[in-house]
């Protein structure tokens, strides 16, 4: 994800597809995903109320469906 004045730009190196995130809140949610166990928690962490979370979860679903977001690899404990 590359920050841009309008929000952020996502590039998939395998498909060469570009996605533009034009909403700063969804940019914050995507950034927060790495720090939280699930999308709902990431949304809450950036201040999205539970009553308003639907469109953000939908947007994350679209990004996941296009492989712009992929599941984290589980941590292997030694």
Q: Helix or strand or coil: residue 77?
A: coil
Residue 59 resides in a domain? yes
Residue 62 belongs to a domain: yes
Query: Which letter does DSSP use for residue 5 in this model?
Result: T
Which band of pLDDT confidence, cut at 50, 70 and 90, is reported for residue 39? very high
Query: Is 33 contained in some domain?
Result: yes
Structural domain includes residue 8: no
11-24 pLDDT, tens digit each: 999 999 999 999 99
Q: Are 28 and 34 in contact (CB under 8 A)?
A: no
- Report the predicted TM-score, pTM, of the whole model to 2 decimal places: 0.87
Mean pLDDT of 22-33: 97
With respect to residue 37, please indicate whether it lies within any of the assigned structural domains.
yes
**Which 3-state string (H, E, C) describes 11-76?**
ECCCCCCEEEECCHHHHHHHHHHHHCCCHHHHHHHCCCCHHHCHHHHHHHHHHHHCCCCCCCCCCC
Q: What domain count does the chain have? A: 1
């Amino acid at each position: 994800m590359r920050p841009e004045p309008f929000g952020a730009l996502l590039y998939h190196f395998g498909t060469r597809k570009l996605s533009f995130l034009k909403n700063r809140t969804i940019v914050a949610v995507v950034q927060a995903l790495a720090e939280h166990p699930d999308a709902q928690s990431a949304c809450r962490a950036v201040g999205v109320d539970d009553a308003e979370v639907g469109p953000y979860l939908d947007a994350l679903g679209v990004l996941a469906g296009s492989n712009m977001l992929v599941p984290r690899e589980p941590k292997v404990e030694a």
